[in-house]
Chain A
């Protein structure tokens, strides 16, 4: 192999100077360009949009807190939904700065713990920075606090002062988390991300593939399957859906998957994972995965919100969407991961 290596190095030095290889097999693929596209065209803009939307949410929240009535609540719900949708666009980016900040944990741990939240409100003391508090804050906590059936009354009742303060603290923490992640991305992490074109565990390419698989698992489980009773012999858990009180679960799930599709094909720029697959001679796989994304998204769209009602009334559509999600999950977890040579842990392997 030493001979081989020397030979290869010799060749690459000798034949290098600009002569194009006539070999029709896949020539190089610019992984750095792909990662740059991910950072600059997808991830950073997605966090920026979320940041912008979170500021609008804050305004709407304050309007509602000042005058808690049904009309303001409706306006707030629209801003809340938009913020949640923008979160779904970054949900797959749980690595690097987001992972360090436990972003998804703090922003989207659902179902939220309404009992503890009520306790916090009544006591007026809590620590939203501790890791133990992830189910007392973020978008699911706001969903409960702002849109539960008795929300408007709550903000005029005996706990109103503490409750308003709690909501503002949750919003402030949400904005701070977004800010932390975005600042890190714009700071040092962007270069780290673009500069690492490896495929081993802990590399950006492995992060992306693993996150695609992880998000699909989340979609199949907590977002769609578990509330539907897939894990529990048909015993349903409608309250455990994402965005339960606002009644936007399927809209969120659809956005999540649509964003994931955008991540998979690099926003259609020709510099996405789907294009990397093509460069690896996996044209058919790339096409099939994209088609399966469309099938799963279409199937999700046939389920009407609110999901808790659909769980009783639209079983056939949910089953169908579940099947498509499962097929997509398998394609990503096995075929795509395998084709890109991505490893899932740091441990030694025999390479099988």
Chain B
């Protein structure tokens, strides 16, 4: 198929139903997630209690809003999800959702999760999609808005986004630890020996290999099987099986399995979604054929914007190639790359603040400034170590120290290797800049046993 005809095919009108079911399911899931987050007390725990927040580079201006403010933001998110589900004031609701959700995620790197990033991306895409033009309160109130058909690409970009996640998650698993040593599965599975029936098998090495290899192949190829009409139903059975199993084996990953189960549903054909909607709703497409068209002024911009967007989706996950050294160790270019459950890494850091002119030294009790989760995350991620070191320098400068220097004794264990020094103890971290460049003060990783 030539490029021209491909583009033409992407413009082909199809039933709007997949966008509508996606809107409703996505909204329901986000509402459930928000309620769960609130009920678990995580708003306070993650956005009110900490004294210090690890911001993202370029987003240092993002700050939390205090207890009332943060609860209001989550209330706003919940309200937006309800409006999204109902399809009422959809465009405003999805914009509010995208901004509020992304704002919350930008507050603290500690809480970074791939599926939060995914939700931000999807909600951004949804801003531009006419998901409220059918089976919605907007249409009830303003019947003229109703459309029954949309260009294929409006559904296609969600499918592509889901495919990008799976594919890069699969690519990330093609590494020696995962494939050749079944790590970190070999470490994690024995901790699951309490499970009924399969518990006893969790100590077996072959089970760890089976999980690793199956996971890698599932991630790499599932999107292709979902796209293909013939393999789609069985592929979706695999989607359900895979993610429900991961939810059982690794409950710590939270909403992620459900997010993927819901989002993969978009791969089903327009006809299928149409039937599903008809089953639930009485209102049929009354106006017959009625195709959604983007405004003429927007038409030429759309391919460019989408092109740039998806180009970034392909470049960002492979940006790690621009850095030297072991990716899992340095984590330079690690985030935003669909690396989920890839490694077992923990660390422990002791900081010392020194006043160069007097030689006075102050050891830091991290618990005084960080939550346990912040402490844990900081201890294995160079950019977070550096941010915290800079913060400590500020704190001690305020206490009256002249040019406080900050040194770290940090030990990190990766995928079952014995812990080894992570940071050059002789380097004053207060003087090291945050940057996109390789951090030379992180000591190289040496691989021993295995």
Interface residues of A (CB under 8 A from B): 1-5, 8-9, 11-13, 21, 23, 25-29, 31, 196-200, 217, 221, 225, 230-234, 279-280, 282, 284-285, 326, 329-331, 333-335, 337-352
Task: For the A-B complex with A9-B198, A334-B412, A341-B187 known, give 8 more contacts whose Cβ atoms are closer than 8 Å.
Answer: A199-B194, A221-B365, A231-B362, A279-B190, A338-B187, A347-B45, A351-B184, A352-B343
**Contact call B252/A348, Cβ cutoff below 8 A:** yes
Q: Is B201 an interface residue, CB under 8 A from the partner? A: yes
**Contact call B363/A350, Cβ cutoff below 8 A:** no
**Contact call A5/B245, Cβ cutoff below 8 A:** yes
**Given known A8-B198, A338-B346, A351-B341, contact A28–B413 (CB-CB < 8 A):** no
**Contact call A197/B193, Cβ cutoff below 8 A:** yes
12 intermolecular pairs with C-beta atoms under 8 Å apart: A1-B218, A12-B201, A29-B190, A199-B192, A230-B363, A329-B348, A331-B419, A334-B347, A344-B373, A345-B373, A350-B114, A352-B339
Interface residue count on the B side (C-beta < 8 Å)? 78
Query: B403 → chain A, closest Cβ, in Å?
Result: 15
Q: How far is the CA of A344 from the CA of B372 in the complex (A)?
A: 7
Q: How far is the CA of A39 from the CA of B113 in the complex (A)?
A: 37
Query: 1/0 per position for B180-192, CB-CB distance to A under 8 A?
Result: 0000100110111
Q: Which residues of B contact A9 (CB under 8 A)?
A: 197-198
**What is the number of contacts between chain A and chain B, taking CB atoms within 8 Å?**
172
**Given known A285-B418, A330-B419, A349-B252, contact A335–B413 (CB-CB < 8 A):** yes
Q: List the B residue with the shortest CB-CB distance to A329.
A: B348
Q: Which residues of A contact B6 (CB under 8 A)?
A: none
Query: B374 → chain A, closest Cβ, in Å?
Result: 10
Q: Which residues of B contact A217 (CB under 8 A)?
A: 367
Which of B74-82, B160-168, B233-241 faces chain A? B233-241
**Contact call A1/B252, Cβ cutoff below 8 A:** no
Q: Which residues of A contact B46 (CB under 8 A)?
A: 347
B203, B215, B250, B416: the one contacting A29 at CB < 8 Å is B203
Q: How far is the CA of A149 from the CA of B198 in the complex (A)?
A: 63
**Contact call A352/B341, Cβ cutoff below 8 A:** yes
Q: How far is the CA of A231 from the CA of B365 in the complex (A)?
A: 8
Query: A34 → chain B, closest Cβ, in Å?
Result: 12
**Contact call B344/A341, Cβ cutoff below 8 A:** yes
Q: List the B residue with the shortest CB-CB distance to A349.
A: B252
Q: Which residues of B contact A13 (CB under 8 A)?
A: 197
Q: How far is the CA of A344 from the CA of B192 in the complex (A)?
A: 16
Q: Is B111 an interface residue, CB under 8 A from the partner? A: yes
Q: List the B residue with the shortest CB-CB distance to A26.
A: B203
Query: B88 → chain A, closest Cβ, in Å?
Result: 30
Q: Is B439 an interface residue, CB under 8 A from the partner? A: no
Q: Is B204 an interface residue, CB under 8 A from the partner? A: yes
Interface-centre pick from B46, B206, B256, B419 (highest chain A CB count, 10 A): B419
Q: Is B277 an interface residue, CB under 8 A from the partner? A: no
